[in-house]
Chains A and B, each alone.
Chain A
Amino acid sequence: MNGEDLIDNILREGERQADEVEVFYARGESVSTEIKKGILGTAEESEAWGMAVRTVKDGRIGFSSTGDPDRWKECLNAALASGRIATPQQWGGFPKPAGITGTASSSDQNLVVAVEGAAEMVGDLLSGAAEHPVEVIGGSADLARTYLAVANTSGVLYGMDRTVAAVSLEAIREQSTGYEFDASPFRADIDARSVGEQAASLAARSLSGRDIETGRYDIVLSPVAAASILGQVLLPALSGRNVKAGRSFLADKIGEQVFDESLSIYDDPFAPGLGSTAWDAEGVPTRRLVFVEQGVLQRFAYDLKTGYRYGEGSTGSAVRFGSEGPGIGVHNLFVDGPRTKEPGDERAVWIHDVVGAHTANPFSGDFSVEISNPFWMEGGELADPIRTAMFAGNVFEMLREIEEFGKDSRRVGRLTIPSIRLNNQQIIGR
């Protein structure tokens, strides 16, 4: 049975026992070449197949998934059994077919999933890294193509292709490490040589850092460091489910000036990006969502379940990872603001990345993390390296007073974010 026959069978069979049925289907292929000790170490190729089924009966939602097409009946029965236990809720039905007008830029027609292509990117990574006196300790180049489809008993059947080209490299010189990466749906976006060069440059230049005294400093977070810290705290706070459950710092603050008036945050599912899509993981048409405009909180993100439950309506924000059920997320989130001058023009501590961002407190916004590749920045240039230190703060407070945004907006996973200058921040030296 191929994909669409199987989907059809499940919908018809499921409809005999439930009010509504939804099938989410993904199949994909990928290749990955890994660098070990400066050469191509391992070559890997994957084929994946997965299907997730949701059933709804009297407002009770059931879910199951399987990686084995032969077990589809078992999977459907497990979804029905799970629905019998779920708490019933307000439910207005899966979406009907809509005139999808937006176009998503998530697939590269020219991307070929072949080990030779990945090996070529490894060659580029290594030649970039060779520009600095470092040892390459690891890295990888990946190419992937996935077909995703969502179908339901209201007549929706949407399918799309998604491609990914991704590279990373880690270099070391004595005890100084540097890590860089990039990922895009489009092979042509990836400059593997430059990624290798940047990682090696970080390792080479961070050597022999000087200690820094504990105190308050003006800092510049690179897009990578900013994405790590904000991703852990800001994204959950925008989820409608966390808002309604009393788990979001931003709950009850719509219309308020919550952040610096230069800051805007929006999700643009039609921009080219890893999460670009014209319909969400439940088949709801996506749209551009402005969460924060000039520092004022505008809205939260909802999926069907949370939207129906609280009378808010889905914002087309459902996403899925792996074989899990849909949840609330973002497609291509932009953190943005006007650029006046460069954030590093005046002396500051520049922070490339942080260690331990996942230990931040997502509810209060407090964090204290170790910083990676910190430098004194003078006149927009990285000057002397700093040995090691911690950076402590609170995400919600920190975003109330932003000094500058850089012109260097960069895609880090599903976030696109510039450098951010923050003054008077707490740095803890050794």
Chain B
Amino acid sequence: MADVRYYDIRCVRGETTLVDIDNGVIESAGTSFFDKAVIRVLGPKGWGVLTRDHVDMDSKRELDALVEAAARLAAVTQDDINLADAPRGALPVPPLGEDPRDVDLEEKTRLLAGIEAAARVPEVANTRARYTEGIDAVRFQDSSGNEYSYEAVRSGFSVLAIASRNGVMQMGSERDHIITGFNLRDKQELGRKAGEVAVSLLDAKLAKGGARRAVLDPELAGVFTHEAVGHASEGDLVREGASVLAGRIGERIGCEGLVVVDDPTLHEFGFIPVDAEGVAVRRTEIIRGGILSSYLHNRETLAAVGNGIPGHARAEHGAPPIVRMSNTFIENGDATYDEILAECKDGILLIGSRGGQVDPGRGVFQFNAEYGYLVEGGETTDMVRDVSLSGEILSTLHNITLLGNDRKMSPGYCGKGGQSVPVSDGAPHLLLESATIGGRGE
């Protein structure tokens, strides 16, 4: 197989347990099984990739046949791919507090039902809760003789409450996912919070659109970090000319004191012990002191682009690795929350996230808050709903005028290229000058 410069195979075999409770009815509660393999071959030019269900990695014959089939695919590609050398090694996976496998399905269902019931406060018309548990056994080997295996355990839930009055419906939702053990005990408080937010939104006003000073809470500021900086710093987008951050290493793109980090080594929801190409993971400072300093890379984008750190290749099971974020955040500054509100004076405080999206080539992003409050004379006043924020990557970061000292991380899932991977993001409270607020209030 002269035309094979490199190959690797990554198998993920595991179980997913889901419990879905809707208005007190246990709609489903059970476990499903998967066993996915991805084989990649680097031919004379680019990648040939095969995905299969259920491959026996220990069968040399099966492996050889798959590598040969992938090599035939690689032969049609024209892209000149080279792989940079990168440090190897895997971190230990954090120990599990309580192993979710030691808790039976009945108990998981009972605990989830408790959280769901807690969301049913007066005026809440519908409640729904979902428990998600994933046990992944990951095995990797490549043609350079690298091999590793590890087990990833994820456990968490989301709860949704819908309040209804005179035909008006509003929602509140909370979620919590961890990698360090079973995560359903003593969480009724989050259910209650979802219910209370939904009910208070019934009386909230529609936000008025336009440019305004905005305070972002740590959860929303985390999504802001992810959408406004994170994606555009991904080495594959930079290489393909799809990022406005291409060619800007060393340039000031944000306020002084701004430090933006992606750190897969943190034991947050985006933790990985080693990346999906067998490369060691490490903390990467994307922005340091307001200056763009590093891209996020895998081996091929490091070779093609440089100026960054590898170890950011990730893959959903059954899909080839691409450059992804893990735990992405803005480091603390020194302002207190009260100082930020006082400095905002008149503007809007935005809380929680319904998600966001970015067009990294155009450099434009949008994300949506769960709710907010008007800020008048440095005090929060009326509650507002259905408010989103959009901005341009290259100007928005200059508009951060205060960084809080209260960073918090929030778990979630991030979609890119049809693949979804667990991530976390976070920040302290932030003050943004002249943010574009989208709302349909008059």
Interface residues of A (CB under 8 A from B): 33, 36-37, 39-50, 52, 61-71, 74-75, 78-79, 81-82, 85-87, 89, 115-116, 119, 135, 137-138, 170, 172, 175-177, 214, 241, 245-247, 249, 323, 325, 355-356, 358-359, 361, 363-364, 366-370, 372, 388, 390-394, 426, 428, 430
Contact = CB atoms under 8 A, between A and B. Distances in A.
Contacts, number: 253
Contact of B362 (A89, A176, A366): A176
B392 A366 contact: no
A64 B295 CA distance: 41
Interface in B65-105: 69-70, 73-74, 76-79, 81, 105
A83 to B, nearest CB: 8
B337 interface: no
Interface in B93-125: 105-106, 109, 125
Given A41-B47, A45-B69, A356-B366, A135 B241 contact: yes
Contacts of B36: 67
A41 B105 contact: no
A85 B18 CA distance: 12
A43 B74 contact: yes
B72 to A, nearest CB: 8
Given A81-B30, A177-B361, 12 more contacts: A36-B46, A43-B73, A63-B30, A71-B35, A172-B361, A175-B361, A356-B366, A364-B386, A366-B385, A370-B390, A388-B364, A388-B390
Contacts of A119: 76
**Of residues B78, B318, B363, B392, which shows the largest number of chain A Cβ atoms within 10 Å of its Cβ?**
B78
B355 interface: yes
Contact of A68 (B33, B79, B363): B33
Interface residues of B, number: 80
Contact of B386 (A86, A138, A366): A366
Contact of B30 (A82, A138, A175): A82
A247 B74 CA distance: 49
Contacts of B356: 356, 359
Contacts of B74: 43
Contact of A69 (B54, B79, B206, B361): B54
B283 interface: no
A36 B305 CA distance: 14
Contacts of B32: 52, 63-66, 75, 78, 323
Contacts of B22: 241, 245
B80 to A, nearest CB: 9
B388 A390 contact: yes
11 contacts: A40-B76, A42-B77, A67-B54, A170-B242, A247-B169, A325-B28, A356-B356, A356-B367, A356-B368, A369-B438, A428-B438
A63 B28 contact: yes
Contacts of B318: 48
Contact of A42 (B46, B244, B359): B46
A30 B78 CA distance: 20
B109 A64 contact: no
Contacts of B51: 44-48
B162 A246 contact: yes
Contacts of B436: 390, 428, 430
B77 A43 contact: yes
Contact of A249 (B25, B169, B361, B388): B169
A364 B169 contact: yes
A246 B125 contact: yes
B320 A44 contact: yes
A5 to B, nearest CB: 17
Nearest to A392: B440
A370 B368 contact: no
A45 B67 CA distance: 12
B364 A369 contact: no
A41 B77 contact: yes
Contacts of B46: 36, 40-43
A361 B239 CA distance: 35
Contacts of A46: 50-52
A196 B51 CA distance: 27
A368 B362 contact: no
B280 interface: no
B33 A245 contact: no
**Of residues B105, B240, B356, which shows the largest number of chain A Cβ atoms within 10 Å of its Cβ?**
B240
Contacts of B210: 214, 428
Contacts of A49: 53-54
Contact of A358 (B242, B357, B361, B363): B357
B54 A426 contact: no
Contacts of A393: 440
Nearest to A27: B53
B308 to A, nearest CB: 18
A175 B125 contact: no
Contacts of B197: none
Contact of B29 (A42, A86, A135, A392): A86
Contact of A175 (B34, B206, B362): B362
B358 interface: yes
A177 B125 CA distance: 43
Contacts of A368: 209, 368, 386-388, 438-440
B362 A42 contact: no
A159 B85 CA distance: 49
**Of residues A36, A367, A368, which shows the largest number of chain B Cβ atoms within 10 Å of its Cβ?**
A368
Given A43-B74, A359-B388, A66 B34 contact: yes
A18 to B, nearest CB: 14
B48 interface: yes
A67 B47 contact: no
B200 interface: no
Contacts of A87: 25-27
